[in-house]
Amino acid sequence: MADTAIHSTAARPPGRRIGDLARTWGAPLALVALLLFNAAVTPNFLTWQTFFVNLTQVATIVIVATGMTLVIATGGIDLSVGSLMAIAGALAPLIFGGSLFGPLDPALGVTLAIAVPILVAGCFGLFNGFLVTSFGIQPIIATLVLFIAGRGIAQVMTNGNLQTFSNPSFQWIGLGRVFGMPVQAVLMLVIVLAVAWMLRATIFGRHVLATGGNEPAARLAGVPVNRVKLAVYAVSGLLSGLAGLIVIAINASSDANLIGLGMELDAIAAVAVGGTLLTGGRATVVGTLLGALIIQLVRYTLLANGVPDAAALVVKAAIILLAVWLQRQGGTAR
């Protein structure tokens, strides 16, 4: 009995075929089913307002999860994303508020308040990659360091105080509209498409997948494994920084204790539901987008229909497990 369990996925072609179908079409089908269900049941679902509410809520998760997808594709994991969001979010008001570089020209202030925090978060991401490549520390431990210390750094910078502000030109990245679409949703789509293209069509993308698929083999084949890893952790850091800025722009305030709290779990869940292998070697950024949309829509469905938020957590857990289990039926997963 125990033996069949190992090989069952390989020995049952029908199950495998269902699994392949589930993997390829499971996420889109689940999303369509959720949309149809909501259209029929949830009041006021088919309005632009509902659409935009869901998009703005999911945008930061998708942006962070896109970086996470790349990290996971190399066989790593990044637990520090929430803390890096907090660092970027704490830094921006210090810059445009003038307490870091002194009073600045408004346009320059906003530019620096966007560029510097993102770059700082990217540097911290690079630091994660450095620990993973140069010291051979397991990614979960290497990024645990900044998970613990990062939020502390953000709190030290602000002394733990809530920073409230009103700066419309900075807040544009959280509240603005482009062609009627929320800016962060546009950013999200651009990032997803760019990274999806990069994974599919560039040499760097192939190097990412090769590193995650079989690192020693990739190394022997001449893939610059260490540089690839440094790059994906840096990208994850940059995207986390951007997400941190969007969060504080929406809230018109920055609370280092709360920005990005639990984000690592949301991002990993989106990646897993989207069908990226957590052991590396295969990645789908569009899948991650769909995964995040599914998780968001389930939560919205439950809340809009009067189910308490706590119960929504339990349902979210069940969905993550179901989605990953369905993908496992495909055979190659492990």
Partner 1 sequence: MTTDTVAPRRPAPPSLAARAGAALSRQGVLIALVLLILFGALRYDNFLGEYNVLSVLRYNSMFALIALGMCFVIMTGGIDLSVGAVAAMASVVSALLSPQGLLPALLGGVAAGAAVGLINGLVIAKLRILPFITTLATLLAAQGTGLLLAGNQSVSVSWDGLFVELGQGDLFGLPIPALIAAAAYLLGSLALNYTGFGRHTLAVGGNEEAARLMGLPVERITIAVYTLSGALAGLAGVILASQFGAGQPTEGAGWELFAIAAVVVGGTLLTGGVGSVGATLSGVLLLGLIFNILNFENGRGVISLSAYWQSVIRGAFLLVVVILQSRLTRRQAP
Residues that bind partner 1 (CB under 8 A): 2-3, 5-6, 77, 79, 131, 135-138, 140-142, 144-153, 155-156, 159-160, 262, 265, 268-269, 272, 278-279, 308-314, 316-318, 320-321, 324-325, 328
Query: CB-wise, 149 or 175, nearer to partner 1?
Result: 149
CB 67 within 8 A of CB 240: yes
Query: CB-wise, 142 or 185, nearer to partner 1?
Result: 142
Q: Quote the tokens at residue 74.
A: 């190399």
Any long-range contacts for 128-137 (C-beta under 8 Å, 24+ apart)? 128/78, 128/80, 128/233, 128/236, 128/237, 129/229, 129/230, 129/231, 129/232, 129/233, 129/234, 130/230, 132/76, 132/229, 132/233, 133/225, 133/226, 133/229, 133/230, 134/226
Question: Smallest distance, Å, CB 268 to partner 1?
Answer: 6
Question: Smallest distance, Å, CB 143 to partner 1?
Answer: 10
Question: Smallest distance, Å, CB 153 to partner 1?
Answer: 6
Q: Quote the tokens at residue 229.
A: 């890893």
Query: CB-wise, 200 or 328, nearer to partner 1?
Result: 328
Query: CB-wise, 131 or 249, nearer to partner 1?
Result: 131
Which residue, 270, 267, 252, is CA-closest to 89?
A: 252
Whose structure tokens read 């397991």? Answer: 138
Question: Smallest distance, Å, CB 204 to partner 1?
Answer: 26
Other beta carbons within 10 angstroms of residue 200's beta carbon come to 14
Query: CB-wise, 5 or 203, nearer to partner 1?
Result: 5
Question: Smallest distance, Å, CB 333 to partner 1?
Answer: 9
